[in-house]
Amino acid sequence: MRKQETLIIAEAGVNHNGCIERAKLLVKAAKEAGVNYVKFQTFVTELNISRNAKKASYQILNDGDNTNQFEMVKNLELSFDDFQELKSYCDEIGVGFMSTAFDLPSLHLIDGLQEIHKIPSGEISNLPFLMAVRSKFKPLILSTGMADMEEIQAALDVLCEGVDKDDITVLHCNTEYPTPMEDVNLNAMLSIGREFGVKFGYSDHTLGIEVPIAAVALGATVVEKHFTLDRNLPGPDHRASLEPSELKAMVTAIRNIELATSGDGIKKPSNSELKNKEIARKSIHTARALIRGTILREEDLITLRPGDGISPMHWNEVLGKTLINDLPALVKLDPADFQ
Protein backbone atom coordinates (compact mmCIF):
# COMPACT_ATOMS: atom_id res chain seq x y z
CA MET A 1 0.00 0.00 0.00
CA ARG A 2 1.46 3.36 -1.05
CA LYS A 3 1.58 5.65 1.99
CA GLN A 4 2.86 8.89 0.51
CA GLU A 5 2.99 10.82 -2.72
CA THR A 6 5.94 10.16 -5.00
CA LEU A 7 8.35 13.08 -5.00
CA ILE A 8 8.64 14.17 -8.63
CA ILE A 9 11.70 16.25 -9.49
CA ALA A 10 11.75 18.00 -12.86
CA GLU A 11 15.44 18.23 -13.73
CA ALA A 12 15.96 21.51 -15.57
CA GLY A 13 19.68 21.04 -15.02
CA VAL A 14 21.56 23.19 -17.51
CA ASN A 15 18.79 23.24 -20.11
CA HIS A 16 18.54 27.00 -19.60
CA ASN A 17 21.75 27.25 -21.69
CA GLY A 18 23.11 29.88 -19.32
CA CYS A 19 20.09 32.19 -19.62
CA ILE A 20 18.24 33.19 -16.44
CA GLU A 21 15.08 34.10 -18.37
CA ARG A 22 14.96 30.67 -19.97
CA ALA A 23 15.53 29.19 -16.51
CA LYS A 24 12.43 31.02 -15.28
CA LEU A 25 10.44 29.66 -18.20
CA LEU A 26 11.54 26.18 -17.15
CA VAL A 27 10.35 26.88 -13.61
CA LYS A 28 6.97 27.99 -14.95
CA ALA A 29 6.66 24.88 -17.14
CA ALA A 30 7.54 22.64 -14.20
CA LYS A 31 4.90 24.31 -12.04
CA GLU A 32 2.28 23.86 -14.76
CA ALA A 33 3.19 20.18 -15.12
CA GLY A 34 2.46 19.61 -11.42
CA VAL A 35 5.86 18.46 -10.17
CA ASN A 36 7.02 18.83 -6.59
CA TYR A 37 10.42 20.35 -7.36
CA VAL A 38 12.26 21.91 -10.25
CA LYS A 39 15.99 21.28 -9.99
CA PHE A 40 19.00 23.06 -11.46
CA GLN A 41 22.76 22.51 -11.25
CA THR A 42 25.05 24.88 -9.36
CA PHE A 43 28.76 24.85 -10.12
CA VAL A 44 31.89 26.88 -10.68
CA THR A 45 33.34 25.41 -13.84
CA GLU A 46 36.94 26.05 -12.83
CA LEU A 47 36.43 24.00 -9.65
CA ASN A 48 34.99 21.02 -11.49
CA ILE A 49 36.56 20.52 -14.90
CA SER A 50 40.11 20.83 -16.15
CA ARG A 51 40.66 22.86 -19.27
CA ASN A 52 41.73 19.83 -21.29
CA ALA A 53 38.87 17.50 -20.22
CA LYS A 54 37.23 15.76 -23.16
CA LYS A 55 33.50 15.62 -23.73
CA ALA A 56 31.58 12.42 -23.18
CA SER A 57 30.40 10.76 -26.39
CA TYR A 58 26.79 11.74 -25.70
CA GLN A 59 27.88 15.36 -25.18
CA ILE A 60 29.60 15.38 -28.56
CA LEU A 61 26.54 13.81 -30.18
CA ASN A 62 24.13 16.27 -28.57
CA ASP A 63 26.23 19.44 -28.55
CA GLY A 64 28.72 19.03 -31.39
CA ASP A 65 32.49 18.83 -31.15
CA ASN A 66 33.39 22.51 -31.51
CA THR A 67 34.27 22.98 -27.81
CA ASN A 68 35.90 20.93 -25.07
CA GLN A 69 34.02 19.98 -21.91
CA PHE A 70 35.30 23.00 -19.97
CA GLU A 71 34.12 25.48 -22.60
CA MET A 72 30.76 23.73 -23.01
CA VAL A 73 30.03 23.74 -19.27
CA LYS A 74 31.29 27.30 -18.78
CA ASN A 75 28.69 28.46 -21.29
CA LEU A 76 25.98 26.78 -19.18
CA GLU A 77 26.97 28.39 -15.87
CA LEU A 78 24.60 30.63 -13.91
CA SER A 79 25.79 33.08 -11.26
CA PHE A 80 25.13 32.64 -7.57
CA ASP A 81 22.82 35.67 -7.75
CA ASP A 82 20.85 33.90 -10.48
CA PHE A 83 20.11 31.01 -8.12
CA GLN A 84 18.86 33.38 -5.44
CA GLU A 85 16.56 34.85 -8.07
CA LEU A 86 15.36 31.42 -9.19
CA LYS A 87 14.64 30.41 -5.60
CA SER A 88 12.56 33.57 -5.13
CA TYR A 89 10.68 32.90 -8.37
CA CYS A 90 9.93 29.32 -7.32
CA ASP A 91 8.55 30.59 -4.01
CA GLU A 92 6.48 33.19 -5.85
CA ILE A 93 4.71 30.75 -8.16
CA GLY A 94 4.55 27.85 -5.71
CA VAL A 95 6.92 25.09 -6.81
CA GLY A 96 9.81 23.65 -4.81
CA PHE A 97 13.34 24.78 -5.64
CA MET A 98 16.33 22.47 -5.77
CA SER A 99 19.80 22.68 -7.24
CA THR A 100 22.54 20.07 -7.26
CA ALA A 101 25.92 21.43 -6.20
CA PHE A 102 29.11 20.09 -7.77
CA ASP A 103 31.73 21.87 -5.65
CA LEU A 104 32.12 23.18 -2.11
CA PRO A 105 31.43 26.90 -2.76
CA SER A 106 28.27 25.94 -4.62
CA LEU A 107 27.34 23.65 -1.75
CA HIS A 108 27.66 26.54 0.69
CA LEU A 109 25.58 28.79 -1.60
CA ILE A 110 22.58 26.51 -1.75
CA ASP A 111 22.69 25.90 2.00
CA GLY A 112 19.50 27.62 3.08
CA LEU A 113 17.95 27.78 -0.39
CA GLN A 114 16.49 24.28 -0.39
CA GLU A 115 14.94 21.66 1.87
CA ILE A 116 16.47 18.60 0.16
CA HIS A 117 19.96 18.14 -1.20
CA LYS A 118 20.81 15.79 -4.06
CA ILE A 119 24.29 14.36 -4.51
CA PRO A 120 24.97 13.85 -8.22
CA SER A 121 26.24 10.55 -9.55
CA GLY A 122 29.65 11.96 -10.39
CA GLU A 123 30.33 12.89 -6.76
CA ILE A 124 29.50 9.49 -5.23
CA SER A 125 33.25 8.75 -5.01
CA ASN A 126 34.27 12.28 -3.89
CA LEU A 127 35.06 11.81 -0.19
CA PRO A 128 35.65 15.50 0.71
CA PHE A 129 32.38 16.42 -0.98
CA LEU A 130 30.44 13.66 0.79
CA MET A 131 31.88 14.74 4.14
CA ALA A 132 30.85 18.35 3.49
CA VAL A 133 27.33 17.30 2.49
CA ARG A 134 26.73 15.14 5.54
CA SER A 135 27.61 18.04 7.85
CA LYS A 136 25.12 20.41 6.28
CA PHE A 137 22.11 18.73 4.76
CA LYS A 138 19.28 16.36 5.46
CA PRO A 139 17.31 14.82 4.00
CA LEU A 140 19.64 13.69 1.23
CA ILE A 141 19.13 12.10 -2.17
CA LEU A 142 22.05 10.09 -3.52
CA SER A 143 22.20 9.35 -7.24
CA THR A 144 24.14 6.24 -8.28
CA GLY A 145 24.82 6.42 -12.01
CA MET A 146 27.97 4.49 -13.00
CA ALA A 147 28.26 3.03 -9.46
CA ASP A 148 28.28 -0.56 -8.26
CA MET A 149 26.93 -1.83 -4.95
CA GLU A 150 30.30 -1.56 -3.20
CA GLU A 151 30.62 2.10 -4.16
CA ILE A 152 27.09 2.83 -2.95
CA GLN A 153 27.88 1.14 0.35
CA ALA A 154 31.08 3.18 0.72
CA ALA A 155 29.23 6.44 0.10
CA LEU A 156 26.48 5.50 2.55
CA ASP A 157 29.08 4.63 5.18
CA VAL A 158 30.44 8.17 4.88
CA LEU A 159 27.08 9.90 4.81
CA CYS A 160 25.65 7.92 7.70
CA GLU A 161 28.35 9.24 10.02
CA GLY A 162 26.40 12.50 10.00
CA VAL A 163 22.96 11.66 8.62
CA ASP A 164 20.44 9.04 9.74
CA LYS A 165 19.85 6.42 7.07
CA ASP A 166 16.13 7.16 7.25
CA ASP A 167 16.92 10.62 5.87
CA ILE A 168 18.65 9.26 2.76
CA THR A 169 16.97 8.19 -0.48
CA VAL A 170 19.12 6.33 -3.00
CA LEU A 171 18.28 6.70 -6.67
CA HIS A 172 19.06 4.05 -9.24
CA CYS A 173 20.40 5.83 -12.32
CA ASN A 174 22.15 5.21 -15.61
CA THR A 175 24.47 8.00 -16.76
CA GLU A 176 23.99 7.78 -20.50
CA TYR A 177 21.88 10.36 -22.35
CA PRO A 178 19.63 8.84 -23.55
CA THR A 179 19.84 5.52 -21.71
CA PRO A 180 19.19 2.47 -23.92
CA MET A 181 16.21 0.51 -22.67
CA GLU A 182 18.28 -2.65 -22.35
CA ASP A 183 20.56 -0.84 -19.88
CA VAL A 184 17.83 0.51 -17.58
CA ASN A 185 17.82 -2.50 -15.21
CA LEU A 186 14.98 -1.30 -12.98
CA ASN A 187 15.42 -4.40 -10.87
CA ALA A 188 18.64 -2.83 -9.59
CA MET A 189 16.49 -0.16 -7.94
CA LEU A 190 14.80 -2.87 -5.92
CA SER A 191 18.17 -4.43 -5.09
CA ILE A 192 19.35 -1.09 -3.69
CA GLY A 193 16.37 -0.85 -1.39
CA ARG A 194 16.68 -4.46 -0.27
CA GLU A 195 20.47 -4.47 0.18
CA PHE A 196 20.87 -1.18 2.03
CA GLY A 197 17.53 -0.84 3.81
CA VAL A 198 16.95 2.65 2.42
CA LYS A 199 14.19 4.50 0.64
CA PHE A 200 14.81 4.18 -3.08
CA GLY A 201 13.87 5.91 -6.30
CA TYR A 202 14.90 6.42 -9.89
CA SER A 203 16.63 9.14 -11.90
CA ASP A 204 15.71 8.61 -15.53
CA HIS A 205 17.59 9.42 -18.73
CA THR A 206 15.61 7.27 -21.17
CA LEU A 207 13.52 8.68 -23.97
CA GLY A 208 9.81 8.80 -23.18
CA ILE A 209 7.89 8.52 -19.92
CA GLU A 210 7.19 4.82 -19.47
CA VAL A 211 10.25 3.87 -17.41
CA PRO A 212 9.77 6.40 -14.57
CA ILE A 213 6.11 5.40 -14.46
CA ALA A 214 7.16 1.75 -14.14
CA ALA A 215 9.58 2.75 -11.37
CA VAL A 216 6.71 4.25 -9.39
CA ALA A 217 4.65 1.09 -9.90
CA LEU A 218 7.60 -0.85 -8.44
CA GLY A 219 7.75 1.37 -5.35
CA ALA A 220 10.00 4.33 -6.16
CA THR A 221 9.46 7.14 -3.64
CA VAL A 222 11.38 9.70 -5.73
CA VAL A 223 11.47 10.09 -9.51
CA GLU A 224 13.65 12.55 -11.38
CA LYS A 225 13.39 13.36 -15.08
CA HIS A 226 15.17 15.87 -17.32
CA PHE A 227 12.97 18.32 -19.20
CA THR A 228 13.47 21.16 -21.64
CA LEU A 229 11.43 23.82 -23.36
CA ASP A 230 12.51 22.47 -26.76
CA ARG A 231 14.39 19.26 -27.51
CA ASN A 232 15.96 20.88 -30.57
CA LEU A 233 17.86 23.51 -28.60
CA PRO A 234 21.64 23.23 -28.61
CA GLY A 235 23.20 21.73 -25.50
CA PRO A 236 24.25 18.38 -24.01
CA ASP A 237 21.01 17.33 -22.31
CA HIS A 238 18.12 18.61 -24.44
CA ARG A 239 17.82 15.54 -26.66
CA ALA A 240 17.33 13.22 -23.68
CA SER A 241 14.77 15.51 -22.02
CA LEU A 242 11.00 15.72 -22.01
CA GLU A 243 9.18 18.71 -23.43
CA PRO A 244 6.58 20.40 -21.19
CA SER A 245 3.55 18.51 -22.49
CA GLU A 246 5.37 15.20 -21.99
CA LEU A 247 6.42 16.17 -18.47
CA LYS A 248 2.80 16.93 -17.63
CA ALA A 249 1.71 13.57 -19.08
CA MET A 250 4.32 11.80 -16.94
CA VAL A 251 3.13 13.53 -13.78
CA THR A 252 -0.50 12.65 -14.54
CA ALA A 253 0.42 9.02 -15.17
CA ILE A 254 2.46 8.79 -11.96
CA ARG A 255 -0.37 10.23 -9.88
CA ASN A 256 -2.72 7.68 -11.48
CA ILE A 257 -0.29 4.86 -10.65
CA GLU A 258 -0.21 6.08 -7.04
CA LEU A 259 -3.99 5.76 -6.86
CA ALA A 260 -3.91 2.36 -8.54
CA THR A 261 -1.39 1.03 -6.01
CA SER A 262 -2.95 2.55 -2.91
CA GLY A 263 -5.44 -0.21 -2.09
CA ASP A 264 -5.44 -2.39 1.01
CA GLY A 265 -4.50 -5.51 -0.97
CA ILE A 266 -7.71 -7.35 -0.10
CA LYS A 267 -9.46 -8.71 -3.18
CA LYS A 268 -13.13 -7.73 -2.94
CA PRO A 269 -15.66 -5.88 -5.09
CA SER A 270 -14.93 -2.17 -5.14
CA ASN A 271 -17.60 0.42 -4.53
CA SER A 272 -17.50 1.46 -8.19
CA GLU A 273 -18.07 -2.06 -9.55
CA LEU A 274 -20.74 -3.32 -7.15
CA LYS A 275 -23.48 -1.84 -9.31
CA ASN A 276 -22.34 -4.00 -12.24
CA LYS A 277 -22.30 -7.29 -10.41
CA GLU A 278 -25.84 -8.41 -11.24
CA ILE A 279 -25.63 -7.01 -14.76
CA ALA A 280 -22.41 -8.82 -15.73
CA ARG A 281 -23.06 -12.16 -14.02
CA LYS A 282 -25.58 -14.83 -14.92
CA SER A 283 -28.27 -16.84 -13.19
CA ILE A 284 -30.06 -20.10 -14.05
CA HIS A 285 -32.93 -19.78 -16.56
CA THR A 286 -35.16 -22.26 -18.35
CA ALA A 287 -33.78 -23.31 -21.72
CA ARG A 288 -37.30 -24.14 -23.05
CA ALA A 289 -40.92 -24.23 -21.90
CA LEU A 290 -41.31 -26.73 -19.05
CA ILE A 291 -44.38 -28.23 -17.43
CA ARG A 292 -45.13 -28.96 -13.82
CA GLY A 293 -43.62 -32.28 -12.71
CA THR A 294 -40.55 -32.02 -14.96
CA ILE A 295 -37.44 -33.40 -13.34
CA LEU A 296 -34.80 -30.86 -14.26
CA ARG A 297 -31.99 -32.00 -16.53
CA GLU A 298 -29.05 -30.11 -18.04
CA GLU A 299 -30.82 -29.62 -21.36
CA ASP A 300 -33.72 -27.93 -19.54
CA LEU A 301 -31.54 -25.13 -18.19
CA ILE A 302 -29.35 -22.29 -19.45
CA THR A 303 -27.34 -19.53 -17.77
CA LEU A 304 -28.27 -15.98 -18.80
CA ARG A 305 -27.81 -12.46 -17.57
CA PRO A 306 -28.78 -10.84 -15.25
CA GLY A 307 -27.23 -12.47 -12.21
CA ASP A 308 -29.99 -11.65 -9.72
CA GLY A 309 -31.41 -15.18 -9.60
CA ILE A 310 -29.98 -18.58 -8.68
CA SER A 311 -26.22 -18.56 -9.23
CA PRO A 312 -24.85 -21.06 -11.76
CA MET A 313 -22.55 -22.18 -8.97
CA HIS A 314 -25.67 -24.01 -7.64
CA TRP A 315 -26.19 -25.78 -11.00
CA ASN A 316 -25.64 -29.29 -9.64
CA GLU A 317 -27.99 -28.65 -6.73
CA VAL A 318 -30.81 -27.66 -9.11
CA LEU A 319 -30.42 -30.70 -11.37
CA GLY A 320 -32.83 -33.48 -10.36
CA LYS A 321 -35.31 -31.11 -8.69
CA THR A 322 -39.00 -31.42 -9.65
CA LEU A 323 -40.88 -28.40 -11.00
CA ILE A 324 -44.04 -27.48 -9.17
CA ASN A 325 -45.03 -24.78 -11.69
CA ASP A 326 -45.35 -24.56 -15.45
CA LEU A 327 -42.62 -22.26 -16.81
CA PRO A 328 -42.16 -20.65 -20.22
CA ALA A 329 -38.81 -20.68 -22.01
CA LEU A 330 -35.98 -18.33 -21.03
CA VAL A 331 -37.32 -17.20 -17.67
CA LYS A 332 -35.33 -16.92 -14.51
CA LEU A 333 -35.64 -19.94 -12.26
CA ASP A 334 -36.78 -19.25 -8.73
CA PRO A 335 -36.40 -21.57 -5.69
CA ALA A 336 -40.21 -21.46 -5.36
CA ASP A 337 -40.54 -23.17 -8.76
CA PHE A 338 -39.19 -26.56 -7.67
CA GLN A 339 -38.89 -28.98 -4.81
Calculate mean pLDDT across residues 65-84. 92
At 101 the pLDDT is 97
At 1 the pLDDT is 53
Report the C-alpha gap between 222 and 113 in whole angstroms. 20
What are the tens digits of pLDDT across the range 232-268? Answer: 999 999 999 999 999 999 999 999 999 999 989 999 9
Range of the domain at 245: 7-260
What are the tens digits of pLDDT across the range 12-57? Answer: 999 999 999 999 999 999 999 999 999 999 999 999 999 988 888 8
Question: Does 90 lie in the same domain as 26?
Answer: yes
CATH number at residue 326: 3.90.1210.10
Phi/psi of residue 102, each to 5°? Answer: -120, 0
Question: Does 178 lie in the same domain as 297?
Answer: no
Compute the mean pLDDT over every residue in the chain, rounded to the nearest whole number: 96
At 61 the pLDDT is 81
- Give the whole-number percent of the chain exceeding pLDDT 70: 99
Question: Does 183 lie in the same domain as 64?
Answer: yes
Residue 162 parent element (H or E) = none
At 281 the pLDDT is 98
Give the model's confidence band at 62: pLDDT under 50 very low, under 70 low, under 90 confident, else very high: confident
* Structural domain count, the chain: 2
Instruction: Assess whether pLDDT exceeds 80 at residue 316.
Output: yes
Instruction: Assess whether pLDDT exceeds 80 at residue 66.
Output: no
Question: Does 323 lie in the same domain as 253?
Answer: no
- Note whether 93 and 27 are within 8 A (CB): yes
Report the C-alpha gap between 184 and 143 in whole angstroms. 14
Of the residues 230, 260, 290, which one is the last residue of a structural domain? Answer: 260
What are the tens digits of pLDDT across the range 102-120? Answer: 999 999 999 889 999 999 9
Instruction: Assess whether pLDDT exceeds 70 at residue 192.
Output: yes
Question: Does 133 lie in the same domain as 209?
Answer: yes
